[in-house]
């Protein structure tokens, strides 16, 4: 599937966000940049929205291996670091 506006190839996040922001069953999907432009929002906000939906377990946003960084930031008991608050 490609962005209806700029023709960029869409990933699951783009499609999921289009469905969230336009219509659950929309067949007109846009890339994050075009969605941001259309809704006059910074793309950064939309990427944050995607991460929020993903964290909430939304089925439209399957967990991506590249977004596991936040998981590793959890305090791990193996490496106690009292100075780091």
Query: Nearest approach, Cβ of 4 to Zn ion (angstroms)?
Result: 8
Q: Which is closer to Zn ion, CB of 15 or CB of 34?
A: 34
Binding positions for Zn ion, 2-61, rule CB under 5 A: 3, 5-6, 8, 31, 34
Query: Nearest approach, Cβ of 85 to Zn ion (angstroms)?
Result: 42
Q: Which is closer to Zn ion, CB of 3 or CB of 15?
A: 3
CB-facing half-sphere around the CA of 67: CA atoms within 13 A: 13
Query: Nearest approach, Cβ of 2 to Zn ion (angstroms)?
Result: 8
Token output for 9: 């190839």
71 torsion bin: left (phi>0), alpha (psi -120 to 50), beta (else): alpha
Q: Which is closer to Zn ion, CB of 3 or CB of 50?
A: 3
Residues in contact with Zn ion by the rule CB under 5 A: 3, 5-6, 8, 31, 34
């Amino acid at each position: 599937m490609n962005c209806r506006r700029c023709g960029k190839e869409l990933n699951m996040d783009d499609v999921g966000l289009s469905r969230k922001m336009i219509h659950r069953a929309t067949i007109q999907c846009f890339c994050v940049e075009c969605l941001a432009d259309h809704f006059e929002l910074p793309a950064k906000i939309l990427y944050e929205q995607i991460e929020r939906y993903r964290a909430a377990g939304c089925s439209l946003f399957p967990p991506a291996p590249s977004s596991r960084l936040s998981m590793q930031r959890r305090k791990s008991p193996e490496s106690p670091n009292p100075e780091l608050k």
